[in-house]
A and B are shown apart, each in its own frame.
Chain A
């Protein structure tokens, strides 16, 4: 099933219009009011379109965002609609254009800076942290920086060590930044709109493998005023035996794991974090106080990861509610290998999450710590 999923999300939609391909009416749903589905790509595209339409100060800047229609087609059609002053193709100079974006935000514009992947954001990280994140505080509120840095984060498929790192933990540790990680199309639309409207710098971590995936969207989500709150997690699936926290692509894996666990009589509650910073500690802790067991899932490196922070938070706030040690599932502590079989082993799989949940519920016979 996972193999099918991988093949489906690997192909990029570029032939027909993205909107035509994206919205498919699912006629078989008897009771839903709209029954529409939308790919994450279209969700992001429509969010950008609507926010640019609503506020002339919003502009997009990055490599290939204009004439190429976006490296992953996220900004497709926007150059034609808004013109080259508002959809700006840049040379391959991340430090330069990230700095230019931050400077424009100082002046009062609302830039959306695209990094082709967040691996390249490291070239610009000084501007993200020192020029953007810290300015509001250092200037005692004089300089606000309403900028969004967005792009794909984490592992793709076969792109190797330098193109596969997850930056959620790095950016999530920095005061002055907001860090968001959408999973579904609803998340993508609502959180991107919230990010663009936010007066502070937002790091928006997408996932390349999710761009082509379709999710149901309600009429409320499709409305141009739709917005999700920053700092609130979503309980994707309610449960009572173990809490599984995840973000981005791992939410899908966690949901699949929950299905498998249900067959074994374990009712898992899956929390889609949505917001890495601020972290929704109250939702996480309330869930752990209910289930008494916690599994954290992330794709990134284990040390100093998002799971480590969640674990610490739960220990600080809900220690006496824990009936088992917290289980951390993360990527392998190794630069991402290229070979497909090694890559599969370096990234968490559904089985890993199932095993961890069983360990937390004392259902596992093996005592060895596996990734």
Chain B
């Protein structure tokens, strides 16, 4: 009996100790700013890259972890459902690339637009989509975000600034430049992030759209998520020049570590601020057109790893 009481007491002490440490845990959700260095430097093409020191808060870091872990678990679950034939047709998974979606969201608002190709589940979550809407859509149910009529490749959330979800490789880039055109036309102060993969980087329509976006000064940021494969074909067999951030030629580019959410956040903040930086830059550079456009290409190489642990 005494032993039991002693154990109970120990247990109680453990509990209260846990309570103390949990209050200590809560303090990591603080909003006091901290500065973190990105793991890799940025590389610029016709532009000075931003600083490697990124401002963040413990709360933000915790939200990064939570969001990326949620995205990872969602994609793994989708993989199992696909193999069980509960998801039909195509299922393109984003596990490994979560840092890009999460880092980008941290730098922008819901009034900025995002458009991507068919690897869209996690972008949808980042824009305010729910797990229920996502899994329902994947399994063809009417509670899905597209009422079961779209499927894996056609998630949309217009009120969250997410314009899909496109099945044709490369098509989303001119569409994204169109969103940017409309933002400029409507005199909104927002930007559009048009995401694409290294496979789509070779598409002609991308260069057509980029030419017009640069010509008309559209607030379009093209984000290349380079996972080194275009469908099943490796990058070295598909692209003569794998330096996708340089492919814009007259359009500045930035190479960003796609595994580092903070680096992605820094790059997207930098990209978004470009319109307001135009005046400063013009005063520094001669008007030979080195930096005379609002467009930017962000390349985020992603390392394909089969680890389940989310790297920090």
- Selected contact of A143 from candidates B158, B171, B174, CB within 8 Å: B158
The answer to whether the Cβ of A97 comes within 8 Å of any Cβ in the partner chain is yes
Most A CB contacts (10 A, CB to CB) among B150, B166, B182 go to B182
Q: In the bound complex, how far is the Cα of B168 from the Cα of A68, in angstroms?
A: 34
Looking at the assembled complex, report how far the CB atom of A326 sits from the nearest CB atom of chain B, in whole angstroms. Answer: 36
The residues of A that contact B116 with a CB separation of less than 8 Å are: none
Question: Are the CB atoms of A98 and B150 closer together than 8 Å?
Answer: no
Q: In the bound complex, how far is the Cα of B211 from the Cα of A85, in angstroms?
A: 17
Q: In the bound complex, how far is the Cα of B209 from the Cα of A137, in angstroms?
A: 25
Q: In the bound complex, how far is the Cα of B198 from the Cα of A91, in angstroms?
A: 25
The residues of A that contact B216 with a CB separation of less than 8 Å are: 88
Question: Are the CB atoms of B177 and A142 closer together than 8 Å?
Answer: no
Question: Are the CB atoms of B174 and A106 closer together than 8 Å?
Answer: no
Within 170-207 of B, Cβ neighbours of A (below 8 Å) are at: 171, 173-183, 185-186, 204-205
Question: Are the CB atoms of A99 and B168 closer together than 8 Å?
Answer: no
Most A CB contacts (10 A, CB to CB) among B156, B164, B175, B186 go to B175
Q: In the bound complex, how far is the Cα of B146 from the Cα of A142, in angstroms?
A: 8
- Selected contact of B211 from candidates A93, A102, A137, CB within 8 Å: A93
Question: Are the CB atoms of B211 and A127 closer together than 8 Å?
Answer: no
The answer to whether the Cβ of B113 comes within 8 Å of any Cβ in the partner chain is yes
Q: In the bound complex, how far is the Cα of B210 from the Cα of A95, in angstroms?
A: 12
The answer to whether the Cβ of B234 comes within 8 Å of any Cβ in the partner chain is no
Query: How many residues of chain A are within 8 Å of chain B by beta carbon?
Result: 32
The residues of A that contact B174 with a CB separation of less than 8 Å are: 95-100, 102-103, 127
1/0 contact string of A68-105 vs chain B (CB within 8 Å): 00000000000000000100101101011111111111
The answer to whether the Cβ of A282 comes within 8 Å of any Cβ in the partner chain is no
Residue of B nearest to A105 (CB): B178
Question: Are the CB atoms of B156 and A93 closer together than 8 Å?
Answer: no
The residues of B that contact A338 with a CB separation of less than 8 Å are: none
Question: Are the CB atoms of A99 and B209 closer together than 8 Å?
Answer: yes
| A104-B179 contact in complex given A126-B171, A142-B158, C-beta closer than 8 Å | yes
Q: In the bound complex, how far is the Cα of B157 from the Cα of A173, in angstroms?
A: 29
Q: In the bound complex, how far is the Cα of B181 from the Cα of A263, in angstroms?
A: 58
The residues of B that contact A138 with a CB separation of less than 8 Å are: 146, 149-150, 154, 164-165
The answer to whether the Cβ of B167 comes within 8 Å of any Cβ in the partner chain is yes
Q: In the bound complex, how far is the Cα of B156 from the Cα of A137, in angstroms?
A: 12
- Selected contact of B171 from candidates A59, A90, A104, A131, CB within 8 Å: A131
Q: In the bound complex, how far is the Cα of B167 from the Cα of A142, in angstroms?
A: 17
Residue of A nearest to B213 (CB): A100
Question: Are the CB atoms of B171 and A137 closer together than 8 Å?
Answer: no
The residues of A that contact B145 with a CB separation of less than 8 Å are: 140
Q: In the bound complex, how far is the Cα of B144 from the Cα of A71, in angstroms?
A: 46
Residue of B nearest to A139 (CB): B156
- Selected contact of B212 from candidates A59, A90, A135, CB within 8 Å: A90
| A91-B211 contact in complex given A130-B167, A131-B171, A137-B149, C-beta closer than 8 Å | yes
Q: In the bound complex, how far is the Cα of B208 from the Cα of A331, in angstroms?
A: 35
Question: Are the CB atoms of B208 and A93 closer together than 8 Å?
Answer: yes
Question: Are the CB atoms of B209 and A109 closer together than 8 Å?
Answer: no
Within 110-164 of B, Cβ neighbours of A (below 8 Å) are at: 113, 115, 145-147, 149-150, 154, 156-158, 163-164
The residues of B that contact A131 with a CB separation of less than 8 Å are: 166, 168, 171, 175
Q: In the bound complex, how far is the Cα of B187 from the Cα of A109, in angstroms?
A: 12
Question: Are the CB atoms of B179 and A106 closer together than 8 Å?
Answer: yes
Within 19-59 of A, Cβ neighbours of B (below 8 Å) are at: 59
Q: In the bound complex, how far is the Cα of B180 from the Cα of A95, in angstroms?
A: 17
Q: In the bound complex, how far is the Cα of B209 from the Cα of A333, in angstroms?
A: 36
1/0 contact string of A141-158 vs chain B (CB within 8 Å): 011000000000000000
The residues of A that contact B183 with a CB separation of less than 8 Å are: 107
Q: In the bound complex, how far is the Cα of B166 from the Cα of A131, in angstroms?
A: 8
The answer to whether the Cβ of A108 comes within 8 Å of any Cβ in the partner chain is yes
Question: Are the CB atoms of A103 and B164 closer together than 8 Å?
Answer: no
Q: In the bound complex, how far is the Cα of B172 from the Cα of A130, in angstroms?
A: 11
Looking at the assembled complex, report how far the CB atom of B209 sits from the nearest CB atom of chain A, in whole angstroms. Answer: 5
Q: In the bound complex, how far is the Cα of B173 from the Cα of A98, in angstroms?
A: 12
Q: In the bound complex, how far is the Cα of B178 from the Cα of A109, in angstroms?
A: 10
Question: Are the CB atoms of A140 and B147 closer together than 8 Å?
Answer: yes
Question: Are the CB atoms of A103 and B154 closer together than 8 Å?
Answer: no
The residues of A that contact B157 with a CB separation of less than 8 Å are: 142
Q: In the bound complex, how far is the Cα of B179 from the Cα of A140, in angstroms?
A: 20
The residues of B that contact A130 with a CB separation of less than 8 Å are: 166-168, 171
Residue of A nearest to B171 (CB): A131
Looking at the assembled complex, report how far the CB atom of B115 sits from the nearest CB atom of chain A, in whole angstroms. Answer: 8
The residues of A that contact B158 with a CB separation of less than 8 Å are: 139, 142-143
Question: Are the CB atoms of A99 and B113 closer together than 8 Å?
Answer: no
Question: Are the CB atoms of B178 and A107 closer together than 8 Å?
Answer: yes
- Selected contact of A96 from candidates B147, B165, B208, CB within 8 Å: B208
Q: In the bound complex, how far is the Cα of B93 from the Cα of A239, in angstroms?
A: 62
- Selected contact of A139 from candidates B154, B177, B180, B182, CB within 8 Å: B154
19 A-B residue pairs with Cβ-Cβ distance under 8 Å, sorted by A, are A85-B185, A90-B212, A96-B208, A99-B173, A99-B175, A102-B174, A103-B115, A103-B175, A103-B180, A103-B181, A104-B181, A104-B182, A104-B185, A127-B171, A131-B175, A138-B164, A138-B165, A142-B146, A143-B156
Chain A residues packing against B (C-beta within 8 Å): 59, 85, 88, 90-91, 93, 95-109, 126-127, 130-131, 135, 137-140, 142-143
Sorted nearest first, the 10 A-B pairs with minimum C-beta distance are: A103-B178, A99-B174, A96-B208, A107-B182, A103-B175, A93-B208, A140-B147, A100-B178, A104-B182, A95-B205
Given A131-B166, A143-B156; 14 other pairs, CB 8 A cutoff: A59-B185, A93-B208, A102-B175, A103-B115, A107-B178, A109-B185, A126-B171, A127-B175, A130-B171, A131-B175, A139-B146, A139-B156, A139-B158, A143-B163
